[in-house]
Structure 1
Amino acid sequence: MHPSPTTYPTRSVVLGHTSNKERQSMSTTLAARRLALCALFLLPGLAMSSWVTRTPAIRDLLGASTAQMGIVIFGLSLGAMAGILCSGPLLARLGAKPLIAFGTLGVAVSVPLIGLGAAAQIDGFVIAALALFGLSMGGSEIALNVEGADVEAISGRPFLPALHGSFSLGTLIGAALGIVATAADFSVVTHLMTIGLSGIVILLVCIRFLPPATGRRQKPNTPAYRSERAVWRDSSLWLIGVIVLAMAFAEGTANDWLPLIMVDGHGLNPALSSTGFAVFAAAMTLGRFLGGPVVQRFGRAWVLGASALSAVVGISLVAFVDNSVVAGVAVVLWGLGASLGFPVAISSAGASGENSATRVAFVTVIGYIAFLVAPPLLGFVGERAGLRGALVIPLLVLFVSIFLSPVARTQRSSIQIGKP
Structure 2
Amino acid sequence: MTHPTSVRRVSAARWGVAALFVANAIVFASIATRYPELKETFGLGELTFGLIVACGPVGSIFGSMVAGRMVARLGAISVAVGSSATLGLLLVGVGFVGHPVLLAAALFVIGFADATGDVGNNAHGLDVQRLMGRSIIVGLHGAWSAGAIAGGLVGLGALQLAVPASVQFAVVGGAIVVGSLVALTTLGLPEPVVHETTPATSGRSRLLSAVLLAACGVAVIGAFLEDLGSTWGGVFLVQEAGADIADSAFPFVALMAALTLGRFVADPLVDRFGPVATVRLGAASAFLGVLAVGAVPAQAAVIVGFALVGLGVAPMIPLAMAAAERAPGLGRGTGLAIAATLMRVGMLASPLLVGAISEVTGLRVAVLLCLVVPVVALLLARALRPPQG
Shift of 1:322: 6.5
Report the CA distance shift for 1:270/1:207 in structure 2 as closer, same or farther (over 3 A). Answer: same
Question: Which of 25, 28, 43 is residue 8 of structure 2 equivalent to?
Answer: 28
Residue number in structure 1 paired with 2:29: 49
Say yes or no: does 1:386 pair with 2:362. Answer: yes
Report the CA distance shift for 1:412/1:374 in structure 2 as closer, same or farther (over 3 A). Answer: farther
Question: Which of 130, 137, 140 is residue 163 of structure 1 equivalent to?
Answer: 140
Shift of 1:169: 2.0
User: Pairwise mapping of residues 173-188 of structure 1 onto structure 2 (< 5 A)?
Assistant: 173-184=150-161, 186=163, 188=165
Report the CA distance shift for 1:158/1:311 in structure 2 as closer, same or farther (over 3 A). Answer: farther
With 399-408 and 51-60 compared, the bigger mean Cα shift is at 51-60
What is the alpha-carbon distance in structure 2 between the residues aligned to residue 271 and residue 191 of structure 1? 15
* Deviation sequence 1:328-382 (CA, Å, 0-9, x none): 4433322210122212221232234464511111111111221122211111122
* Deviation sequence 1:156-198 (CA, Å, 0-9, x none): 4332332222222222222332343445554544432322222
Residue identity opposite 1:319 in structure 2 = G
Residue number in structure 2 paired with 1:277: 252
Say yes or no: does 1:66 pair with 2:41. Answer: no
Report the CA distance shift for 1:378/1:65 in structure 2 as closer, same or farther (over 3 A). Answer: closer
Say yes or no: does 1:343 pair with 2:318. Answer: yes
User: Pairwise mapping of residues 329-368 of structure 1 onto structure 2 (< 5 A)?
Assistant: 329-353=304-328, 355-368=331-344
The answer as to whether partners of 2:56 and 2:110 remain within 8 angstroms in 1 is: yes
Residue identity opposite 1:236 in structure 2 = V
What is the alpha-carbon distance in structure 2 between the residues aligned to residue 393 and residue 217 of structure 1? 46
Residue number in structure 2 paired with 1:87: 67
Report the CA distance shift for 1:314/1:74 in structure 2 as closer, same or farther (over 3 A). Answer: closer
Residue identity opposite 1:66 in structure 2 = L
What is the alpha-carbon distance in structure 2 between the residues aligned to residue 326 and residue 56 of structure 1? 19
Q: Tell me the TM-score normalized by structure 2.
A: 0.82
The answer as to whether partners of 1:248 and 1:368 remain within 8 angstroms in 2 is: yes
Question: Which of 368, 373, 388 is residue 397 of structure 1 equivalent to?
Answer: 373
Say yes or no: does 1:371 pair with 2:351. Answer: no
- Runs of at least 5 residues in structure 1 that lack an aligned partner in the other structure: 1-17, 414-420
Residue identity opposite 1:359 in structure 2 = G
With 99-108 and 268-277 compared, the bigger mean Cα shift is at 268-277
Shift of 1:392: 4.9
Residue number in structure 2 paired with 1:8: none
SS of structure 2 residue aligned to 1:111: helix
Report the CA distance shift for 1:294/1:211 in structure 2 as closer, same or farther (over 3 A). Answer: farther
What is the alpha-carbon distance in structure 1 between the residues aligned to residue 49 and residue 310 of structure 2? 28
Q: Which has the larger radius of gyration?
A: 1
Residue number in structure 1 paired with 2:220: 245
Pairwise CA RMSD of aligned residues?
3.8
Counting aligned pairs with the same residue, the percent is 25
Report the CA distance shift for 1:265/1:309 in structure 2 as closer, same or farther (over 3 A). Answer: same
* Deviation sequence 1:63-104 (CA, Å, 0-9, x none): 744268777656545433322332234334444223212211
* Deviation sequence 1:249-301 (CA, Å, 0-9, x none): 11111111123334444555556654343222211122223333333333322
Shift of 1:235: 2.6
What is the alpha-carbon distance in structure 1 between the residues aligned to residue 112 and residue 273 of structure 2? 37
- Runs of at least 5 residues in structure 2 that lack an aligned partner in the other structure: none
Report the CA distance shift for 1:57/1:264 in structure 2 as closer, same or farther (over 3 A). Answer: closer
With 270-279 and 98-107 compared, the bigger mean Cα shift is at 270-279
SS of structure 2 residue aligned to 1:66: coil
Shift of 1:315: 1.7
What is the alpha-carbon distance in structure 2 between the residues aligned to residue 273 and residue 189 of structure 1? 18
With 182-191 and 239-248 compared, the bigger mean Cα shift is at 182-191
User: Pairwise mapping of residues 282-321 of structure 1 onto structure 2 (< 5 A)?
Assistant: 282-320=257-295
Residue number in structure 2 paired with 1:39: 19
Report the CA distance shift for 1:397/1:186 in structure 2 as closer, same or farther (over 3 A). Answer: closer
The answer as to whether partners of 2:224 and 2:350 remain within 8 angstroms in 1 is: yes
SS of structure 1 residue aligned to 2:135: coil
What is the alpha-carbon distance in structure 2 between the residues aligned to residue 227 and residue 161 of structure 1? 27
The answer as to whether partners of 2:152 and 2:253 remain within 8 angstroms in 1 is: no
What is the alpha-carbon distance in structure 2 between the residues aligned to residue 410 and residue 277 of structure 1? 33
What is the alpha-carbon distance in structure 2 between the residues aligned to residue 192 and residue 56 of structure 1? 16
What is the alpha-carbon distance in structure 1 between the residues aligned to residue 24 and residue 155 of structure 2? 15
With 374-383 and 389-398 compared, the bigger mean Cα shift is at 389-398
SS of structure 2 residue aligned to 1:391: helix
The answer as to whether partners of 1:160 and 1:347 remain within 8 angstroms in 2 is: no
With 360-369 and 192-201 compared, the bigger mean Cα shift is at 192-201
The answer as to whether partners of 1:266 and 1:324 remain within 8 angstroms in 2 is: yes
The answer as to whether partners of 1:145 and 1:361 remain within 8 angstroms in 2 is: no
What is the alpha-carbon distance in structure 1 between the residues aligned to residue 271 and residue 388 of structure 2? 16
Report the CA distance shift for 1:102/1:54 in structure 2 as closer, same or farther (over 3 A). Answer: same
Question: Which of 85, 89, 92 is residue 105 of structure 1 equivalent to?
Answer: 85
Say yes or no: does 1:147 pair with 2:127. Answer: no
